[in-house]
Every structure is written in structure tokens, then in C-alpha cells.
């Protein structure tokens, strides 16, 4: 395996990466790479979260979100390619430096925690919309918007999961 090496200036842990990326309004090439790594890692975090569920319907919604997060990493890499011509491959779990300490559940499987997580997904749509608006490249903007739209789908799935737990 070839673990992706974190470049100078990149957040060194996944917690720092999430915090950083959420604060970026005009992304640099480095920010888009961090986003790509975070999105790729998020598939594993959703899977780890699903593994803590004894409700198959809830677990299924979480896995569905996770699979789309990896597709977001692929789109982020495509945006990078459109902007710079650079090839950047979204890493698998064992090659992702932000998963060096392993995957972990994103949160507790309670209705309140799932609703809170849903809000971070809705915020993700707004974040991507901001990136699309400032990136100055039509292809990258369309890729960011496609990701953003699906972050809203993720939020809605999490609200659905919360409702299932309350059912
Ligand atoms: Fe995503
Ligand atoms: Fe998401």
C-alpha cells in the first residue's frame, strides 16, 4: 500500500481537517486535496457508525451516505484535475493518512445526535455552494454543486434515521 503523504500546510489529523475545511470559503488546491481525503475517510466513518446499529434500516441509510462520500472524493479529485491538470487519487481506507488511527463512529445513534449530524450535512451543501461560487472554473463548480446537493440528501437520510429510531 502507498499511504498518501500529507503535504506541508495540510491539517495533520482528521479532526483538524474537518475543522479547517468547514472554515474555508475560497478553496486553494491544498484545501481541495484535504477535502478529497476527508470525503474518502468519511465513507469509513459512516461504515463504522453503521456497524454500531442494531437497526438494519438505519445502518443501510448510513452506509448509503458513506458510499456517496467516497464519490464526493472522486468528484473533488476531478475538480482538482480540471483546475490544475494534476492527478490525485482518492485513497482507500488503509492508504488515507486521516485514518492512520483507524475509523471511528461519527456519533452516537440517538435521534438527537443524528439530527445534529444532519445539520453538519446541510452545512456541507452550503459550503460546497460557496466553493462553486468562488472557484472560477465551470467544470469544478458543477462538481462541487453535485457534491453539495448530495450533502442535503445525506442530511435528509439522517433525519429519516432519527425518525426510524423514534418509531
Ligand atoms: Fe460529502
Ligand atoms: Fe455527506
pTM of the model: 0.96
Residue 129 located in a structural domain: yes
**Cα 162 to Cα 167: distance, rounded to the nearest angstrom:** 9
Express each pLDDT in 62-116 by its tens digit.
999 999 999 999 999 999 999 999 999 999 999 999 999 999 999 999 999 999 9
Residue 131's pLDDT band (boundaries 50, 70, 90)? Answer: very high
pLDDT reading at 1 higher than 80: no
Q: What's the 70 CA to ligand 2 centre distance in angstroms?
A: 9
Domain holding 56, by residue range, is: 14-166
Q: Compute and round to an integer the Cα radius of gyration of the chain.
A: 15
Contact 80, 39 (CB under 8 A): no
Q: What's the 121 CA to ligand 2 centre distance in angstroms?
A: 5
Q: What's the 1 CA to ligand 2 centre distance in angstroms?
A: 27
Please give all residues whose CB falls under 5 A of ion ligand 1, grouped by chain where several chains appear.
39, 69, 72
Ligand nearest to the CA of 146: 1
Collapsed DSSP state (helix, strand, coil) of residue 16: helix
Please give all residues whose CB falls under 5 A of ion ligand 2, grouped by chain where several chains appear.
121, 151, 154
Residue 9 located in a structural domain: no
Name the least confident of 2-11, 14-23, 59-68, 122-131: 2-11
Residue 7 located in a structural domain: no
Q: What's the 65 CA to ligand 2 centre distance in angstroms?
A: 6
Residue 5 located in a structural domain: no
Residue 8 located in a structural domain: no
Task: Look at the chain and report how many structural domains it folds into.
Answer: 1
Q: What's the 77 CA to ligand 1 centre distance in angstroms?
A: 13
**Cα 88 to Cα 160: distance, rounded to the nearest angstrom:** 34
pLDDT reading at 157 higher than 90: yes
Looking up residue 71, the CATH number of its domain turns out to be: 1.20.1260.10
pLDDT reading at 3 higher than 90: no
Place of cell 437497526: 55
Residue 4 located in a structural domain: no
**How is 16-55 classified by DSSP, letter by letter?**
HHHHHHHH-SS--HHHHHHHHHHHHHHHHHHHHHHTT-S-
Express each pLDDT in 28-67 by its tens digit.
999 999 999 999 999 999 999 999 999 999 999 999 999 9
Residue 23 located in a structural domain: yes
Collapsed DSSP state (helix, strand, coil) of residue 57: helix
Residue 102 located in a structural domain: yes
Amino acid at each position: 500500500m502507498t499511504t498518501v503523504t500529507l503535504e506541508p500546510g495540510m491539517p495533520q489529523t482528521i479532526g483538524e481537517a474537518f475543522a479547517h475545511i468547514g472554515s474555508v470559503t475560497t478553496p486553494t488546491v491544498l484545501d481541495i486535496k484535504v477535502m478529497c481525503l476527508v470525503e474518502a475517510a468519511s465513507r469509513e466513518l459512516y461504515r463504522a457508525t453503521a456497524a454500531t446499529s442494531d437497526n438494519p434500516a438505519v445502518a443501510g441509510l448510513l452506509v448509503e451516505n458513506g458510499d456517496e462520500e467516497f464519490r464526493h472524493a472522486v468528484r473533488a479529485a476531478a475538480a482538482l484535475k480540471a483546475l490544475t491538470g494534476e492527478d490525485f487519487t482518492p485513497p482507500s481506507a488503509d492508504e488515507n493518512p486521516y485514518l492512520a488511527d483507524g475509523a471511528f463512529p461519527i456519533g452516537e445513534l440517538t435521534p438527537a445526535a443524528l439530527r445534529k449530524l444532519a445539520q453538519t450535512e446541510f452545512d456541507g451543501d452550503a459550503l460546497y455552494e460557496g466553493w462553486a461560487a468562488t472557484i472560477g472554473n465551470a467544470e469544478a463548480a458543477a462538481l462541487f454543486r453535485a457534491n453539495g446537493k448530495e450533502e442535503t440528501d445525506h442530511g435528509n437520510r439522517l433525519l429519516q434515521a432519527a425518525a426510524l429510531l423514534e418509531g
